[in-house]
Amino acid sequence: MQIRVLAMFALPAVIALSTLSATAQKKKSSEFQEVYTGTIVSMNGGLASTGFNLSIGNFTSDEDAQRYLAILAEGDQFDVLKKIENLELGRLSSTGRVGRNLLVVRKTQLPDGKIRIVAAFERWQRMVELRGGYRSQDYPFGLMEIILDANGKKGSGTFIAACKIDLKRDKKTGKYQLELENFGSYPHKVMGVMLRN
């Protein structure tokens, strides 16, 4: 009798636990909408390379992008950084470094059918930069741009390890345009990009 009562309670408990476990696994696997891997190849000096993992959980809306541009127009890049520094739209990790939270992620379809993803994050800074107050501190962002094929599964792109952003007025049109300035001589290349999920 006692064994039968335990069995009656055990069976629903096992079912509940397995359901919770399946739900937890499903939630964990769907934490990121898109995950890409590839290689960053340095174009400054030696041809050093490192692997990366770009995990995207969410994208920046058009409304938010316009709001950030308005903040940049009224202030500067550090005002924008202050506004977005606690966002977590995903993560960029590279071999041997702690991952960085993605602060802005934009995805657009190009006229030729290819897909463009641009992800911005607060860049990695070395202790010597922070202590010495070097000019590199004027470049607070890191930026990765990936151009994918029409299927969105393979591609290549550009990586800027230290980037400064500003709005500049075009002399011909009078309109403001977003200007990106790379601290290094050349942006790095992003190669062998593949969608993993």
Q: Where are the domains of the chain?
A: 1-30, 32-195
| Cα gap 62→196, rounded to integer Å | 26
Interval 55-67: pLDDT, tens = 999 999 999 999 9
Residues 130-182 have pLDDT tens digits of: 566 666 788 999 999 999 999 999 999 999 999 999 988 888 888 888 999 99
Please report which helix (H) or strand (E) contains residue 164, including its range: strand 154-169
Residue 83 clears pLDDT 80, i.e. is over it: yes
- How much of the chain exceeds pLDDT 70, in percent? 79
d(CA 133, CA 193) in angstroms, rounded, equals 35
pLDDT at 87 over 90: yes
Residue 111 CB burial class (10 angstroms; 0-12, 13-18, ≥19): exposed
Residues in the chain, overall count: 197
pLDDT of res. 128: 61
For residue 125, pLDDT beyond 80: no
Most confident of 26-30, 97-101, 129-133: 97-101
**Predicted structure pTM score:** 0.78
Q: What is the mean pLDDT of the chain?
A: 82
Report pLDDT for 168: 86
Q: What is the mean pLDDT of residues 64-92?
A: 95
The predicted pLDDT at position 170 comes to 82
Helix (H, G, I), strand (E, B) or coil at 63: helix
